[in-house]
Structure 1
Amino acid sequence: MSPDSIAPPQPTGENVLEVSGLAKSFGGTRVLRAVDLTLRPGRVVCLIGPSGSGKTTVLRSLNGLETPDGGMLQAPAADLDIDFSRPLADATRNRLRDLSAMVFQQHNLFPHLTVLQNVIEGPVRVQRRPRAEVIDEARALLARVGLEARSDAYPAQLSGGQQQRVGIVRALALKPTLLLFDEPTSALDPELVGDVLSVMKDLADEGWTMVVVTHELAFARDVADEVLFLDDGVVLERGAPDRIFTAPREERTRRFLERLMRPF
């Protein structure tokens, strides 16, 4: 990526975010049970595990898209100290949302807006930043991911991989402290996956703080600083990727990894 890219924020303090005892139920179904997560500046944490294990709910809780039933969240840089067992004020929720930007599975681009318009929508309308400045930054970001020539195209005119790269640029344009990725390659054709993962690896190399939900185990092994294996709403195992992927301590982790790594 080009040297004039948006640099990752450098938050003060030891941790960007610290979550303890995160719990969430939908109706009578317990989705998260006392999940703990600590994010240090410039670190990449990958969440792996079977479908329904609570990975996406963790991300949505960090971004304020879901409100947990219990647990604590602290983010010193945003002056946040949240007890989720108490009602969450709108102003607090908005500060939590401002802390991070989410890249979704299904791109979620506005179909009636061009690529450039999709990227500048949040910074201009929500953050109230100068339009000309935002456009210049958006064009530079699109150039980073090889899409400078598609700024006037509409989402329907792009491949799935191109749409997902626009989704990443849209997140970066908000200048968040934390980037959240919810299985960003799961909806892509196999030949398009590499381009998206390459962009994400570059962001990690630049020092962005990231939480990534993924089934791309090779990416997690190469890029993550820490891997968390979730099952049935709990973090069953956590550790450095080399240890998790070569010598998991839990039988459930081992069976999950074996199933994903089988050639057929």
Structure 2
Amino acid sequence: MSHTDPATNAPALLKVTGLQKSFGDHQVLKSIDLQIGKGQVLALIGPSGSGKTTVLRCLNGLEIPDGGEVAFSDGPAVVFAPKTTQKQAQVLRTRSAMVFQNYNLFPHMTVLENVIEGPIQVQRRKRSEAVADAEALLARVGLGQKRDQYPHQLSGGQQQRVGIVRALALKPSLLLFDEPTSALDPELVGDVLKVIKELADEGWTMVLVTHELAFAREVADEVVFMDQGVVIERGHPDVVLRAPQNERTQQFVHRLLNPF
């Protein structure tokens, strides 16, 4: 594996090679290659159905690719084939954590219980340690007073911040964000983006699927444009988002920046 990400010259954390995934007769991913440097932010953009979310789910072991390899610099590495099992794929979750579009909080659990569930049940950490970490993280995102409330008592923006805290509590090497603001009212988007920006500034390694192009330009080290299961264009945000070279990328960026 390469020791650096060629796009950023940062030490490589993750290398994805030849990732393929089909659902029935529909091939969603057609040999995707990605490399992510340690401490870098990679933004995946593209139209709905282009395969962006499927990439994230494959990186987190939620989907089993039909082929390809996902390799972390410090392990694990998973080479996918038709007989790869869910258990083999789930080893990737020891290094990554996912923040979902629709929060995916457990409705019958309090905020605190949602955050400590993974560290205690999956990582077998002591409850006292998990609670202390959770309380510190909740306070950090302005939700310390909400620890004993249930998800239905929170706004969408607050629920998504809990989702981010739940991911952070697992202490992952890689954070995966799947359209983290798309389900939010416009006035709540800023609070969530502020937290993500702070994480980027602190050096968290992230893959971010988003339609917020201005935000992607601000936080990403590299932008990858996908369409119909392939990577069409990749590069520095100022290039891909301000002066894209590929005609399909130009059409997509222009449409998002000029919706009317």
Bin for the TM-score computed over the shorter chain: over 0.9
Equivalent residue for 2:45?
Answer: 48
The secondary structure found in structure 2 opposite 1:246 is coil
Q: List 4+ stretches of structure 1 deviating above 6 A.
A: none
Provide the TM-score with structure 1 as the length reference: 0.92
**Which residues in structure 2 correspond to 1:45-84 (within 5 Å)?**
45-80=42-77, 82-84=78-80
Query: Structure 2, unaligned stretches of length 5 or more?
Result: 1-9
- State TM-score, norm by structure 2: 0.94
Structure 1 gaps of 5+ residues are 1-12
Offset at residue 91 of structure 1 (A) = 4.7
Deviation of 1:90 (Å): 5.0
1:14 aligns to 2:6 (yes or no): no
Instruction: Pick the aligned partner of 1:149 from 145, 149, 162.
Output: 145
Tell me the distance in 2 between the aligned counterparts of 1:55 and 1:232: 10
- Which string of whole-angstrom CA distances, capped at 9 and with x for unpartnered residues, describes residues 134-155 of structure 1? 1011000000100001111100
Aligned to 1:87: 83
Q: Displacement of 1:124 after TM fit?
A: 0.8
Taking the aligned partners of 1:79 and 1:233, their CA distance within structure 2 comes to 25
Output the amino acid matched with 2:90: N
1:89 Cα deviation from its structure 2 partner = 4.5
Kept after mapping to 2: 8 A contact 1:116/1:138: yes
What RMSD over aligned residues (CA atoms) do the two structures have, in Å? 1.2
The answer to whether the 8 A contact 1:101-1:176 is kept is: yes
Separation in 2, partners of 1:253, 1:263: 15
1:7 maps to which residue?
A: none
Contact 1:221 1:245 in 2 (8 A): yes
Equivalent AA in structure 2 for residue 55 of structure 1: K
Please show how residues 198-209 of structure 1 align to structure 2 within 5 Å. 198-209=194-205
Task: Indicate the SS of the match to 2:211.
Answer: coil
Q: CA deviation at 1:14?
A: 3.1
Number of aligned residue pairs: give it: 251
**1:20/1:251 Cα in 2 relative to 1: closer, same or farther (>3 Å)?**
same
Opposite residue 113 of structure 1, the aligned amino acid is M
Aligned equivalents of 2:107, 2:115: Cα separation in 1: 12
Give the percent of matched residue pairs that are identical in Structure 1 and Structure 2.
65
Q: CA deviation at 1:29?
A: 0.5
